[in-house]
Structure 1
């Protein structure tokens, strides 16, 4: 498996441990760890992060309609097995193997199928997998699903204005106006990372997270303890982008720093300020990425409004193994149609990026 630090912060053992030890991803919240480890001569050669789920929350790849269909037919959709990083819609390897062994990846998929039978799980779902992992899973007769996110790409920019110069004039003006208005009341912005992160920062951010999360989806997934735990062990891979009014923090965005990517995760505010969400989550993230030589910014799931702000459409992938023959047939038909729709939408989105025509590849 190797001792090198993974490119994605979400694949670090400390990240999973914080989720589990804080009580966020445990059986009591519907995320019972069932990780699969493959060993050879006592040495680990493959790992699949896996959870037994009693619901479909916190996944960002929606299968509620599938659950409703089998329940209406008298079957049971839950429990199911979920191969993912809980509450994290970021593409990263999920079939973790030594030396990229396809044979070991297939062993992990087969082991998951055996475990599903043993546990009486209706299905197995691997979300935000890599393109190569999806291809391997399809060889093993798993179903493939596509979706779209919006990512910003750093073309060697020297600063934010250099990035803006690649956009159409009216888009440049709109972004400059949004940035001015977000901070026109005297708000200032801080980047806090590494050893500068304190419990006071997390207290403030958690208030933002709870206020916005409770209104947006009813029950935020992460508790206060998680943020303390993750800060204690991964502070160098975290940056809080905070808005401050005098001596009071009023909004913030949590980001994780990968080898070459900044991952926007959670946002919240206790004050309603026009365009402040865009400033902290999108524009400041771009500023940080440029300043630190990062190649891209992944600003989370969905959000076509990101397109006008310089974030380009990117296909994301998931894999699904469904044991119920009738449901599998119906889902396979649905996914075939959905893939065509996603591919067509991707072409439309690519044609409507805000970049100047002479700068588009």
Structure 2
């Protein structure tokens, strides 16, 4: 075991079902559904996270001599860089041009989900950070024993990020756009916090959705029926076929997720003339709503903003949630009330020369992200308080 600690050992599990669910959930905590046992199990049971899709589960567990598990990491052996959203294609090409083999690599992540959250799962006890550091050392050891190019912990919390810094891992930042609930009681309260111009813009966009004869509503739990999933999956596949070419999630996954964590799902559906035309999938944490997948069968003016942004904000206000995280990309989200936030990743690369090159890249990228964050902050749509 790393650091000469003979009281601890690490094991790798190819199926999350072989790890006690209660233990995993205790270490992961209740806040983020994307590292929760039900979500990860549904991905494995329905073949979404598998060797065939290039996401072979290799969950790392650290346990005491008596078998007590003190830390786990949702880990995957990856044969590509798809579905991660922290892009390292350039690193892969550079290493392979130099004669190295970049794949397979280890990825500690919530598959197919650009959602920040805990990755080094060790609970919140007084020794939890020590357990996280031990988990990192275990990942390093496994990487080197298997002669892999690298380990990547993506969309981590700031706490995990600090532990990775302590361990000497390369640090990388990115940015997303999140909406923050400033104790609004209604959507109109939120609009009142905006400048007059942006307030009028949002009202106009929502009105134009209504004028197209479209109704938009949010469903959760038992209110989501099989026919809703049939329609949403059609939207999802159609969007991927047009934009990205390969849908990561199967129809079976959505039903399995519904069965295992239906209370965490918020499915926004848009109907026209009694028929569904678009949908947006969200998962609900204890304090945040996480927007994930969107699909639409036609070109409806402003419907994407209504279903993905405004309905999410409305749901968060109505349910006392503090944050809406709307996924990747999107400077256009700023004028709709979403603010820039940093994302955090850490990377372990055994080869010194390759590590130094990636480190230089990340430091240059960090300066660019900082400049972007400052620039975006100057264009927020909120009224300035006197």
Q: Could you say which TM-score interval applies, normalised by the shorter chain?
A: over 0.9
* 1:348 shift after superposition: 1.2
Out of 267, 277, 285, the residue aligned to residue 304 of structure 2 is: 277
Residues 86-108 of structure 1 show CA distances to partners (whole Å, capped at 9, x for unaligned) of 00111111111141612111111
Query: Are 1:22 and 2:46 counterparts?
Result: yes
* 1:247 shift after superposition: 1.9
| Aligned match of 1:208 | 235
Query: Are 1:315 and 2:342 counterparts?
Result: yes
| Aligned match of 1:96 | 121
| Aligned match of 1:82 | 107
Bigger shift: residues 131-140 or 95-104: 95-104
Partners of 1:97 and 1:90 lie apart in 2 by 19
* 1:183 shift after superposition: 2.5
Query: Are 1:172 and 2:199 counterparts?
Result: yes
Out of 158, 163, 170, the residue aligned to residue 136 of structure 1 is: 163
| Aligned match of 2:36 | 12
* 1:344 shift after superposition: 1.7
Partners of 1:197 and 1:181 lie apart in 2 by 27
| Aligned match of 2:225 | 198
- Root-mean-square deviation (CA, aligned residues, Å) is 1.2
Residues 183 and 276, structure 1, Cα contact 8 Å, conserved in 2: no
Bigger shift: residues 98-107 or 323-332: 98-107
* 1:114 shift after superposition: 1.1
Out of 77, 80, 98, the residue aligned to residue 52 of structure 1 is: 77
Residues 106 and 136, structure 1, Cα contact 8 Å, conserved in 2: yes
Bigger shift: residues 154-163 or 50-59: 154-163
Residues 25 and 37, structure 2, Cα contact 8 Å, conserved in 1: no
Query: Are 1:325 and 2:349 counterparts?
Result: no
Query: Are 1:235 and 2:259 counterparts?
Result: no
- Alpha-carbon spacing, 1:199–1:105, altered in 2? closer, same or farther (3 Å): same
Residues 140-177 of structure 1 show CA distances to partners (whole Å, capped at 9, x for unaligned) of 11000011100001111111111011111111111111
Residues 260 and 294, structure 1, Cα contact 8 Å, conserved in 2: yes
Partners of 1:6 and 1:24 lie apart in 2 by 23
Residues 221 and 265, structure 2, Cα contact 8 Å, conserved in 1: yes
Out of 368, 371, 374, the residue aligned to residue 347 of structure 1 is: 374
Partners of 2:70 and 2:283 lie apart in 1 by 27
Partners of 2:228 and 2:156 lie apart in 1 by 32
| Aligned match of 1:223 | 250
- Alpha-carbon spacing, 1:348–1:126, altered in 2? closer, same or farther (3 Å): same
Q: Per the alignment, in what secondary structure is the counterpart of residue 97 of structure 1? A: coil
* Large movers: runs of 4+ above 3 Å: 1-5
Residues 79 and 120, structure 1, Cα contact 8 Å, conserved in 2: no
Residues 150 and 314, structure 1, Cα contact 8 Å, conserved in 2: yes
Residues 24 and 37, structure 2, Cα contact 8 Å, conserved in 1: no
Partners of 1:221 and 1:114 lie apart in 2 by 30
- Alpha-carbon spacing, 1:2–1:33, altered in 2? closer, same or farther (3 Å): closer
* 1:182 shift after superposition: 2.0
- Alpha-carbon spacing, 1:119–1:183, altered in 2? closer, same or farther (3 Å): farther
Partners of 1:120 and 1:204 lie apart in 2 by 45
Residues 312 and 353, structure 1, Cα contact 8 Å, conserved in 2: yes
Please give the residue correspondences for 1:109-128 in structure 2 after superposition, counting only pairs within 5 Å: 109-128=136-155
Consecutive unaligned residues in structure 2, runs of 5 or more: 1-22
Partners of 2:145 and 2:39 lie apart in 1 by 28
Query: Are 1:286 and 2:313 counterparts?
Result: yes
Q: Per the alignment, in what secondary structure is the counterpart of residue 255 of structure 1? A: strand
Q: Per the alignment, in what secondary structure is the counterpart of residue 153 of structure 2? A: strand
TM-score by length of 2: 0.91
| Aligned match of 2:96 | 71
TM-score by length of 1: 0.97
